[in-house]
Amino acid sequence: MATVLVCLAIPFCGSSVEAAQKKVDFRIDYPVFKTAFINDLINDDVVAFKRKFDAVVVASSEEKGHDIAIVADAVFETDAFVSIRWKTTVKLADQDKPFFVVTGTTIDLNSKQKISLKSLFKPSVPFLNILSEKAFLALKKSIPDRQRDDAWLKRGLDPRPDQFSHFYRTKDALVLIFNPLQVGPASLGVQTASIPLSELKSYLRDQ
């Protein structure tokens, strides 16, 4: 499936009178697919982020000139799904340094729907507990001892849906995303745990 990357610079203003006076520059670099429903689902994610940013961040700041870049920095395609890893960089006008958030969108090409983490697993499988254990082992290896706080790591991997809300798929792995402060101090940045599908084979629905 062929894709092209489109880069847009979009001045975005909020819906409220106060927020509408604060200019936010969005730069969006995203794949455009030949299949229309994929583009519609991707656009839904971008619009949802804009609204969330406007409501939570812009409304709480008196500054103008916020700068946001949403980039699809990796696209994984098979005959069954398309999975996109998004990197969002937010530079607030009143902050010296930007912060980063990574999310994922995975689309089932047969059902034409976005895939939830739960939908990947068989109904009776305690998938959050399984992913929590595997992510803990993976991150314990990847985070240096001097930077790792095991108690913080365990809290961030508590097997709840909100702790495992960001992921994407590759051909061979399920990649879990943990944004800053979830599994350790902000200095750790974004952390990912790549779990081979071969380790999850007995728990997954037919792929």
Using one digit for the tens of pLDDT, what is the confidence trace for 91-125?
887 788 888 999 999 999 999 999 999 999 999 99
Question: Quick one: pLDDT band at residue 34, thresholds 50, 70, 90?
Answer: confident
Give the pLDDT score at 113.
94
Give the pLDDT score at 73.
85
Task: Give the residue extent of every domain in the chain.
Answer: 3-114, 118-200
Give the pLDDT score at 165.
94
Mean per-residue pLDDT, 187-207: 93
C-alpha distance from residue 106 to each of 127, 168, 186 (Å): 18, 6, 27
In the structure, how many helices (H) and strands (E) does the chain have? 5, 9
Question: Quick one: pLDDT band at residue 67, thresholds 50, 70, 90?
Answer: confident
Q: What span, in angstroms and rounded, lies between the C-alpha atoms of 81 and 108?
A: 5
Question: Quick one: pLDDT band at residue 33, thresholds 50, 70, 90?
Answer: confident
**In this model, does residue 8 exceed pLDDT 70?**
no
Of residues 52 and 21, more confidence is placed in 52
CATH topology classification for 118-200: Actin; Chain A, domain 4 (3.90.640)
What are all long-range contacts of 194-201, with beta carbons under 8 Å and residues at least 24 apart? 194/138, 194/170, 195/131, 195/134, 195/135, 195/138, 196/172, 197/172, 197/173, 198/172, 199/134, 200/121, 200/130, 200/174
Tokens standing for residue 175: 């990649």
Mean per-residue pLDDT, 43-66: 73
Report whether CATH 3.40.50.300 matches the domain 3-114: no
Give the pLDDT score at 207.
61
Give the pLDDT score at 32.
83
Q: Tokens 């047969």 — which residue?
A: 110
Of residues 137 and 62, more confidence is placed in 137
Tokens standing for residue 124: 């009776």
Percent of the chain with pLDDT over 90: 57
